[in-house]
């Protein structure tokens, strides 16, 4: 039996990078930016014409509640329009939307129906053709805004010309919200706000993603060849020199699926990976602050999981081939730590990212199957 092998040394170095990078980044960005003032001049009464786009594919169960939720918002009705864009739903979603519109004649609702499903981004781009608002709000049908002031609180940021896009923090809801999902969110929400205060965050959420319409037009709409339309567009806007932010007081609730939770997260990780890859291909030159944020987030999503994978592989080799005592101890420690929730959450996320990058080679999941919520 060996006590310590070269393989162990390499594995330890890789593990140090794997766990060290996110830990250092998290504490660095949190301490440096989280409690900083925003340095933005906002007019809380700013209420421009806005267009709210709700994309739907088989949302019969949720669409009326979603529209009610928008209707309850404290925002002048004569300054907003809703566009529901449906892509060949087979569960009668458009009919329900029409009925809802008839019952609420005091709000301007436009239903656009595609006769073939080509994915969310296609649908959003079609809706954009009809949009007249200065500000465009995209919101998924399976999400709700718990606060009546959500729209006003999101839109007011655009009174400052430096802001190009705004998104929200997410609160998972549903009958079966797992501990994993909750602790994952806690950690990620801190990052989103701190990154936003540094300059911009490259990760946006479809529950509430708000953009200046003229910037969307400059970009030619949402990207049709990748899944993360919101994150990619926010990143492009940050690269144009505008801020893409998540404020600390904007929340959306998202229904977490009861079944297929892991496939759901894998598909979303696939989309995010696609967004990072597509931005990297642009070879853009971001501002200094955004360069750090984007660089590290891209590293954490694309490469960092594989450091863990290789470290584990080497430890197993060291154990099996060289009978290393250190390898046994390290592997046992890694397994024992799984009883700690935060650690388990982290490892789960790494597995999801790895499976997602492999799956991306097989299918981009641009028109994904619906999961039960
Ligand atoms: P997730 O939030 O990433 O898990 O994806 P969802 O399945 O919740 O979809 C986000 C939103 O896009 C929901 O409102 C869906 O109804 C809608 N959606 C998904 N695919 C399509 C599509 O092909 N066309 C349209 N119009 N909407 C879609
Ligand atoms: Mn969703």
Q: What is the pTM of this model?
A: 0.95
Residue 192's domain spans which residues? Answer: 50-292
Instruction: Extract the tokens encoding 303.
Output: 């490469």
> How confident is the model at residue 180, as a pLDDT?
65
In a domain, 314, yes or no: yes
Specify the residue with its C-alpha closest to ligand 1, atom 7.
Answer: 370
Specify the residue with its C-alpha closest to ligand 1, atom 10.
Answer: 140
Q: What number of other Cβ atoms are within 10 A of residue 16's Cβ?
A: 12
In a domain, 270, yes or no: yes
- Mean pLDDT split into 10-residue runs, the chain, 373 residues: 89 97 96 94 93 97 97 97 97 97 97 95 97 98 96 97 96 70 79 97 97 98 94 97 96 86 92 96 91 97 98 96 93 95 91 96 82 71
- Give every CB contact of residue 348 below 8 A, 6+ residues apart in sequence: 180, 184
User: Of 263, 292, 321, which one is at a domain's C-terminal end?
Assistant: 292
Instruction: Extract the tokens encoding 330.
Output: 């390290």
> How confident is the model at residue 4, as a pLDDT?
85
Please report the DSSP string for 227-284 in residue order: S-HHHHHHHHHHHTT-EEE--TT-EEEEEPPSSSHHHHHHHHHHHHHHHHHHHHHHT-
* Same-domain check for residues 234 and 108: yes
In a domain, 11, yes or no: yes
In a domain, 37, yes or no: no
User: Of 254, 273, 292, which one is at a domain's C-terminal end?
Assistant: 292
CA 57 / ligand 1 centre spacing (Å): 6
Atom of ligand 1 nearest to the CA of 264: 4
> How confident is the model at residue 175, as a pLDDT?
63
Residues flanking ion ligand 2, Cβ below 5 Å: 140, 142
* Same-domain check for residues 303 and 285: no
């Amino acid at each position: 039996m060996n006590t310590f092998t070269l393989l162990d040394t390499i594995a330890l170095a890789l593990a140090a990078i794997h766990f060290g990078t996110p830990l250092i980044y998290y504490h660095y960005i949190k301490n440096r930016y989280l409690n900083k003032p925003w340095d933005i001049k906002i007019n809380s009464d700013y209420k421009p014409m806005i267009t709210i786009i709700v994309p739907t594919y088989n949302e019969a169960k949720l669409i009326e509640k979603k529209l009610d939720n928008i209707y309850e918002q404290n925002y002048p009705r004569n300054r907003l329009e809703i566009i529901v864009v449906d892509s060949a739903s087979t569960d009668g979603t458009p009919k329900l939307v029409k009925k809802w519109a008839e019952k609420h004649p005091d709000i301007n609702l436009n239903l656009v129906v595609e006769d073939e499903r080509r994915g969310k981004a296609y649908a959003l781009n079609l809706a954009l053709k009809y949009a007249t608002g200065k500000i465009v709000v995209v919101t998924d049908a399976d999400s709700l805004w718990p606060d009546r002031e959500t729209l006003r609180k999101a839109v007011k940021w655009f009174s400052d010309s430096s802001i190009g896009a705004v998104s929200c923090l997410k609160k998972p809801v549903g009958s079966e919200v797992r501990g994993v999902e909750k602790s994952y969110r806690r950690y990620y929400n801190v990052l989103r706000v701190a990154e936003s205060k540094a300059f911009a965050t490259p990760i946006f959420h479809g529950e509430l993603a708000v953009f200046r319409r003229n910037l969307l037009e400059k970009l030619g709409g949402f990207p049709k060849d990748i899944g993360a339309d919101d994150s990619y567009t926010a990143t492009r806007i940050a690269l144009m020199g505008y801020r893409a932010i998540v404020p600390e007081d904007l929340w959306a609730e998202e229904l977490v699926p009861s079944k297929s939770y892991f496939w759901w997260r894998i598909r979303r990780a696939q989309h995010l990976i696609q967004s990072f890859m597509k931005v990297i291909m642009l070879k853009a030159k971001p501002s200094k602050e955004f360069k750090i944020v984007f660089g590290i987030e891209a590293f954490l999503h694309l490469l960092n999981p594989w450091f863990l994978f290789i470290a584990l592989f080497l430890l197993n080799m060291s154990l099996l081939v060289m009978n290393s005592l250190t390898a046994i101890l390290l592997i046992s420690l890694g397994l024992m730590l799984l009883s700690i929730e935060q650690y388990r959450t982290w490892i789960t996320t790494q597995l999801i990212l790895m499976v997602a990058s492999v799956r991306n080679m097989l299918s981009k999941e641009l028109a994904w199957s619906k999961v039960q919520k």
